[in-house]
Chains A and B, each alone.
Chain A
Amino acid sequence: MQVFSCPYCGPRPDAEFHYIGDADKPRPERSCSDEEWAHYLFMRANTRGAARELWVHRAGCGRWLVVARDTETHEVAAVTPMNAERAGT
């Protein structure tokens, strides 16, 4: 039962959040190869240790968040809005 500090809602239990996947996985252009597209769709890094993950605060503000977290110790380094990185707002 981890605690994530949502930048909009404050510290909340992890049950309010829904895990999406790896944060650093840009969507390839349409011109990419079948292999690149398959990698984007199906492959996961499954990192042990420091990882950047996408979570959505489903039972809270509904916002998408990048959670920098150690998957082994469950120590959370930072929780930041995803949109700020992706769309620059």
Chain B
Amino acid sequence: MSAPRMDGPTMDGPRMRGLRRLPEGGEIDRSRPLSFSFDGRAHIGYAGDTLASALLAAGETVLARSFKYHRPRGLLGAHHEEPNAILDLRAGTRHEPNARATLEPLVDGARLSSIHALGTARRDLLAVMDRFARFIPAAFYYKTFMWPHWHVYEGTIRRMAGLGRVAADSRAQGGALRHIDVDLCVIGSGAAGLAAARAGLKAGRSVLLVEQRSRVGGALLWRDAVIDGVPGARWAQDLGAALAAGGARVLTQTTAVGLYDHNSAVLHERSGDGGRIWQVRARAFVLATGAIERPLLFGDNDRPGIMLADAALEYLRRYAVVAGSEVVFATGNDTAYQAALAYAAVGARCTVVDARTDTPAMAAARAAGIEVLAGERIESTLGKDRVQGVRTASGRTLPADLLTVSGGWTPLIHLYCHARGRPRWDAERGVLLPGAPVQGATVVGAADGARSLADALAQGVQAGGGAATDVPACIAPPFDWGGAPDTRMAFGARRTWVDLQHDVTAKDIALAVRENFRAVEHLKRYTTLGMANDQGRTSNVNGLALLAERTGRTIAEAGVTTFRPPFLPVPIAAVVGTQRGELQAPLRRLAAEAVHREERAELRGYGDMLRPASYGPAQDAMTRECKAARERCVILDASSLGKIEVLGPDAAALLDFVFYTRMSSLAPGRLRYGLALAESGAVFDDGVVLRVSADRFVVSCSSSHVAAMTAHLEAWREDRFDLSRAFVHDTTPRWATMAISGPASKGVMTALGLGIDLDDTAFPHMSARDGRFAGEPARVARVSFTGERSYEVSVPAGLAEELWRRARTVGAEPLGVEALGALRCEKGFILVGVETDGETMPQDIGMGRAREVRTDPYVGDRSLHTPAAQRSGRRQLVGVAVAGDEPLPVGAHALSRGARPHSVGWITSSHMGVGAGKPVALAMIEDGASRHGETLEFEHFGTLHRGTLVAPCFYDPKGTRLDVRP
């Protein structure tokens, strides 16, 4: 059987230097030229090019500098296997700091530059590193930069070694995350994948087909094949279109980066800035990921102009780029002969160097005019910044401007490994193959070691649920896997590269073995072999073979490493997607926000809530708003305070269990301030509980703790209550609450006319009454966070603006959150999370009584009686008075006196107290409650302040102003 040929037209002659693009053929659109530049040099490519194919056609051979030695590097591969060609890409506003040249489509106006070089890739000022190579073996950094500490050297080393840099002004914006749920997800659209997708669709399954390249077909796009009587590339294109028309979803330019639990996968679609992430859930996965070629091991095998044979063929067939005119094809398998025949057909002068003595492929090559050196190997290469020739094992030298290498093949089993599959070594094919099957995923085609196109198609059809009669007829040369890596030339006089991306050589592996890093996982970490961001695609198996050879074991004995997600690096912009700013953390807004803006409020985020910090500029507002509250009447939008309803016959029992302060003894219509604890005994939240009726309570907790308090109540309800007898329901956003406060507040309430008897005997402090506002229910609670006579009025959220406007017209002045903070501070009212932290217990803030009297169980009870809870030296709430009129800085530490000064606590809140007429501060100080009168030093960024510990209340300690009459 002779292989079908699909060769394009030839160049005019074999020596057309500089002309590297054929006049026709390939997938490129010659009617759409695209201009681009590389390191400042202007070039032209075509629509359909990748960055790599355009650079190759433009004659750019040095695209990068190597990681450690700054050796010049060019293209080894044509797609994801490429270790070297990672570039900085700018196009318009778009910036990709680590664009993979082989994956990115060329766009008009693209400005490319090399990374990882001082200067440019062509003239890298760090190339001198290579001369010191013998001083920088594996683990050199670990051994050398230890004293005094690695961090002293880290910055410089990373600058020399790192990849691209994100610009500080980067605005890369990935697409929104997409979810997709299908019966069958096929990864890879080569022959096996297409066959599986077609069979799945025919069987009535919903199908998702995922392809990394810009079009479906896999290796059919460049290798020789005829399927169903048409060339493989056309069969693939026609089938791809038919699948899409038949209802399958076909994603191109999309990489399956990970296979995860319960039949799920994560895809990265490359489009625009960063691309987008897809989350796939599928009843079944078919992994048709194919195989990639391995390089050969010989001296100086890393020069630009040394390329995988299959990549050279892909550049020729897909992009009409002739990668060399004088080509040496080094191989040990028949598959690479396809590339030699194709290059010969376009007029290149071709020589095959084959380690084997005789195979049928040699005769066919010779018949096509190709010189074949049988039983010969490459010993090393010649050239400087690019390959100019080769030296063979028998001492011959051959000129070459392209050296292709084919050291056998590597099935791509990454996704199988993600699904906890364990690979096994197949000695005959010289490959790692999937071992035992894994749940939910079937590996087919070259990824499973298929020996021919016919096998791959048959496996695909079967995995897709089709019958044997569905397998299409095909003609293609058999696939020669090539056997285990040939290590004979790996330890010659010149260095032999194994991992191009991390600059690991055969000598490094030998050194690691001599230092007894003989286990494969140790070898990896010691030399960093396979740990670059290509995960050692082209180096792992060669590295294993060298380890086996140096340790006198077989590859199976040397052990295999596994793969973890992601298969390819994913830009952070894609991971973030649209989850940024308000789309990542949405702000909650008050119903009356518009009216606050009219009042010139400075809005600020408190937790996730946008609230008025002050009205007008903050520095003027503080004193004015505090004075209004102490002397007249203010209105504060307190709508974000929690309004969690707890209902049912067991509601009182639930609250008694969840709150440290008993609530079951509360009379209907009355309010009680209380604490809720965590099981650790720490204060979880504080709040005011209203008992509406025997079986109905409303918990008004801190604004930013509503969700947590609801979950806390729900957790204990579920844990130990009859769910039909107690219910928790958060109504916070349904009600707007305006706190009307100040000595004149009763007059404002009278003017509002809510139909409630405001007489202090009928409606005392810490009680609530129901009235009506604008024809709707209104609840008024006498509870104060300012220390003044106060009324909290709650109305349906839709009436928020109207209530605000009415109160303003009858004399209430606006109060913002910042001034409220100063008012509550001088009263000594705590804020949970400001005064308290994860260690603060109720007895530390003057609320120790329930701990002593309650014997019934409540959350956190046992923790209040541990040695830690009872020890002396606990930080306790105190006030701190200062001489002068300068408030203490928040966060200042109180110093103990004595030989070794240390912190005994800190300032938690500090303000200019308008009511107190002097600075006021709250602090948590060790044993503070019993140290009133003591003067301490407070240190803050090197400055010392003095403050005297006092009771934590600076204004109206008897609470007479709650009922003050105007």
Contacts and interface: CB of A to CB of B under 8 A. Distances in A.
Partners in one complex: yes
Interface of A: 1-3, 13, 27-28, 30, 32, 34, 37-38, 40-41, 56, 58, 62-64, 73-74, 82-83, 86-87, 89
Give the interface centre of B262, B679, B861 by most chain A CB atoms within 10 Å. Answer: B262
Given A34-B866, A37-B866, A41-B863, A74 B261 contact: yes
B568 to A, nearest CB: 19
A32 B857 CA distance: 13
Given A56-B711, A64-B715, A83 B723 contact: yes
Contact of A34 (B719, B722, B855, B867): B867
Contacts of B279: 1
Given A1-B264, A37-B862, A41-B679, A30 B857 contact: yes
Contacts of A83: 718-719, 723
Interface string B852-869: 000101000111011100
Contacts of B719: 27, 64, 82-83, 86-87
26 contacts: A1-B279, A1-B281, A3-B262, A27-B719, A30-B857, A30-B862, A32-B862, A37-B866, A41-B679, A41-B863, A56-B711, A56-B715, A58-B711, A62-B714, A63-B718, A64-B715, A64-B719, A73-B420, A82-B718, A83-B719, A83-B723, A86-B718, A87-B718, A87-B719, A87-B722, A87-B723
A2 B720 contact: no
A12 to B, nearest CB: 11
B724 interface: yes
B260 interface: yes
A56 B707 CA distance: 14
Contacts of B425: none
Contacts of B714: 62, 64
A38 B260 CA distance: 37
Interface in B671-720: 679-680, 711, 714-715, 718-720
Contacts, number: 58
B842 to A, nearest CB: 16
B517 interface: no
Given A30-B861, A87-B721, A2 B261 contact: yes
Contacts of A3: 262, 281
A86 B861 contact: no
Contacts of B865: 30
Nearest to B862: A37
A3 B181 CA distance: 13
A20 to B, nearest CB: 8
B262 A74 contact: yes
Nearest to A64: B718
Interface in B172-221: none
A27 B680 CA distance: 13
A79 to B, nearest CB: 13
A15 to B, nearest CB: 9
Nearest to B680: A41
A26 to B, nearest CB: 10
B867 to A, nearest CB: 7
Nearest to A37: B862
B724 A89 contact: yes
A14 to B, nearest CB: 8
B942 to A, nearest CB: 38
Nearest to B260: A1
A2 B721 CA distance: 30
B439 to A, nearest CB: 9
A89 B722 contact: yes
Contacts of A64: 714-715, 718-719
Nearest to B718: A64
B674 to A, nearest CB: 20
A74 B867 CA distance: 40
Contacts of A74: 261-262
B648 to A, nearest CB: 12
A63 B715 CA distance: 8
A74 B440 CA distance: 14
Nearest to A83: B718
Contacts of B723: 83, 87, 89
A86 B720 contact: yes
Contacts of A73: 420
B852 to A, nearest CB: 14
Given A34-B867, A89-B722, 12 more contacts: A1-B261, A1-B264, A27-B719, A30-B857, A41-B679, A41-B680, A56-B711, A56-B715, A64-B719, A82-B718, A87-B722, A89-B724
A38 B719 CA distance: 20
A64 B723 CA distance: 12
Contacts of A58: 711
Nearest to A1: B264
Nearest to A63: B718
B678 to A, nearest CB: 10
A76 B685 CA distance: 36
Nearest to A65: B718
A21 B279 CA distance: 27
Contacts of B861: 30
Nearest to B280: A1
Contacts of B724: 89
A83 B679 CA distance: 19
A87 B711 CA distance: 18
Contacts of A28: 862
Contacts of A89: 722-724
A2 B679 contact: no
A1 B279 CA distance: 9
Interface string B84-124: 00000000000000000000000000000000000000000
In the complex, the 10 A-B pairs of residues with the closest C-beta atoms, listed nearest first = A1-B264, A64-B718, A3-B262, A2-B261, A74-B261, A83-B718, A37-B862, A1-B260, A2-B262, A89-B722
B449 to A, nearest CB: 26
Nearest to A72: B420
A30 B420 CA distance: 46
A13 B723 CA distance: 26
B721 A37 contact: no
Nearest to B720: A87
A48 to B, nearest CB: 15
Nearest to A3: B262
Nearest to B710: A62
Contacts of A30: 855, 857, 861-862, 865
Nearest to B722: A89
Contacts of B281: 1, 3, 13
A2 B719 CA distance: 25
A2 B857 CA distance: 37
Give the interface centre of A1, A56, A58 by most chain B CB atoms within 10 Å. Answer: A1
B917 to A, nearest CB: 46
A86 B720 CA distance: 6
Contacts of A82: 718-719
A28 B855 CA distance: 15
A13 B181 CA distance: 12
A2 B263 CA distance: 8
A1 B720 contact: no
A18 B760 CA distance: 48
Give the interface centre of B261, B721, B862, B866 by most chain A CB atoms within 10 Å. Answer: B862
Contacts of A86: 718-720
Nearest to B264: A1
Contacts of A2: 261-262
